[in-house]
Chain A
Amino acid sequence: MRLSRRQTHELAGAYALDALDGAERDRFERHLHRCPACERTVRGFAQTATALAMAAAAEPPSGLRERVLSAASVTRQAPPTLAGRRGRAATRPGSGVTGRSSGSRSGRRSPWVPRAAVAIGAAGVAAAVALGTVQISTQHQLNSAVAREAQIAAVLTAPDARIATAPTSVGGTAVVVVSRTQQKMIFTSSGLPALPSAKVYELWLLGPRSARPAGLLPPPSGGRTAPLLASGVAADDKVGVTVEPAGGTSSPTTTPIVVLTLPA
Chain B
Amino acid sequence: MGSFRSASDPAERSDAEPTRGESELDTLLTMVARGDQGAFETVYDRLARPVYGLIRRVVRDPAQSEEVAQEVLLEVWRTASRFDPARGSAATWALTIAHRRAIDRVRSETAATEREQRSAASPVAVDEVAETVEATLEAERVRRCLDGLTQLQRESITLAYYGGYSYPQVAALLGTALGTIKTRIRDGLTRLRDCLGVSW
Would you call A123 an interface residue if the criterion is a C-beta within 8 Å of the partner chain's C-beta atoms? yes
Cα–Cα distance between A191 and B193 once the two chains are bound (Å):
47
- By a CB distance below 8 angstroms, the chain A residues around B185 are 13-14, 17, 19
State the Cβ distance, B48 to closest chain A Cβ, in Å: 5
State the Cβ distance, A174 to closest chain B Cβ, in Å: 15
- By a CB distance below 8 angstroms, the chain B residues around A112 are 82-84, 87, 93
Cβ–Cβ contact A44 & B50, under 8 A: no
Cβ–Cβ contact A47 & B1, under 8 A: no
Cβ–Cβ contact A54 & B37, under 8 A: no
* CB nearest to A11 among chain B residues: B182
Cα–Cα distance between A56 and B55 once the two chains are bound (Å):
9
Segment touching A, from B6-14, B118-126, B131-139: B131-139
Cβ–Cβ contact B134 & A57, under 8 A: yes
- By a CB distance below 8 angstroms, the chain A residues around B54 are 53, 56-57
* CB nearest to A162 among chain B residues: B71
Would you call A131 an interface residue if the criterion is a C-beta within 8 Å of the partner chain's C-beta atoms? no
Encoded as 1 (CB less than 8 Å from any A CB) or 0, chain B from 26 to 68 comes to: 0000000101010011001100111111101100001000110
* CB nearest to B193 among chain A residues: A48
Segment touching B, from A95-103, A182-190, A214-222: A95-103
Q: Choose among B50, B77, B78, B168 the residue with the greatest number of A CB atoms under 10 Å from its CB.
A: B78
Cα–Cα distance between A176 and B107 once the two chains are bound (Å):
26
Interfacial residues of chain B within 154-200, with CB under 8 A of chain A in the complex = 157, 160-162, 164-168, 170, 181-183, 185-190, 192-193, 196, 198-200
Choose among A55, A97, A116 the residue that contacts B96 (Cβ–Cβ < 8 A): A97
Would you call A66 an interface residue if the criterion is a C-beta within 8 Å of the partner chain's C-beta atoms? yes
Choose among A48, A69, A95, A116 the residue that contacts B198 (Cβ–Cβ < 8 A): A48
- By a CB distance below 8 angstroms, the chain A residues around B82 are 78, 80-81, 111-114
- By a CB distance below 8 angstroms, the chain A residues around B183 are 10
Cβ–Cβ contact A55 & B139, under 8 A: yes
* CB nearest to A58 among chain B residues: B53
Would you call A107 an interface residue if the criterion is a C-beta within 8 Å of the partner chain's C-beta atoms? no
Cβ–Cβ contact B162 & A52, under 8 A: yes
Dominant secondary structure of chain B at its interface with chain A: helix
Would you call A140 an interface residue if the criterion is a C-beta within 8 Å of the partner chain's C-beta atoms? no
Cβ–Cβ contact A75 & B77, under 8 A: yes
Cβ–Cβ contact A51 & B142, under 8 A: yes
Cα–Cα distance between A18 and B159 once the two chains are bound (Å):
11
Known: A61-B62, A65-B48, A114-B82. Contact between A72 and B95, CB under 8 A?
no
Would you call A16 an interface residue if the criterion is a C-beta within 8 Å of the partner chain's C-beta atoms? yes
Interfacial residues of chain A within 77-124, with CB under 8 A of chain B in the complex = 77-81, 85, 95-97, 100-104, 111-114, 116, 119-120, 123
Would you call A50 an interface residue if the criterion is a C-beta within 8 Å of the partner chain's C-beta atoms? yes
Would you call A236 an interface residue if the criterion is a C-beta within 8 Å of the partner chain's C-beta atoms? no
Would you call A263 an interface residue if the criterion is a C-beta within 8 Å of the partner chain's C-beta atoms? yes
Cβ–Cβ contact B100 & A100, under 8 A: yes
Cβ–Cβ contact A46 & B81, under 8 A: no
Known: A57-B134, A57-B136, A101-B97. Contact between A48 and B192, CB under 8 A?
yes
- By a CB distance below 8 angstroms, the chain A residues around B97 are 101, 113
Q: A20-B167, A51-B141 are in contact. List 14 more A-B contacts (CB 8 A).
A: A10-B182, A43-B87, A47-B88, A51-B142, A55-B138, A55-B142, A56-B53, A56-B129, A57-B138, A78-B81, A80-B81, A111-B82, A113-B100, A114-B82
Which residues of A are at the interface with B, using a C-beta cutoff of 8 A?
A: 10-14, 16-21, 40, 43-61, 64-69, 71-73, 75-81, 85, 95-97, 100-104, 111-114, 116, 119-120, 123, 163, 263
Which residues of B are at the interface with A, using a C-beta cutoff of 8 A?
A: 1, 33, 35, 37, 40-41, 44-45, 48-54, 56-57, 62, 66-67, 69-71, 73-75, 77-84, 86-89, 91-93, 95-101, 103-104, 107-108, 129, 133-134, 136, 138-139, 141-143, 157, 160-162, 164-168, 170, 181-183, 185-190, 192-193, 196, 198-200
Of the A-B pairs whose beta carbons lie under 8 Å apart in the complex, a sample of 8, sorted by A's number, is A47-B200, A50-B92, A60-B49, A60-B66, A65-B1, A69-B1, A113-B82, A114-B75
Q: Which A-B residue pairs are the 9 nearest by beta carbons?
A: A96-B87, A44-B200, A58-B53, A13-B186, A60-B52, A55-B142, A13-B185, A80-B81, A57-B49
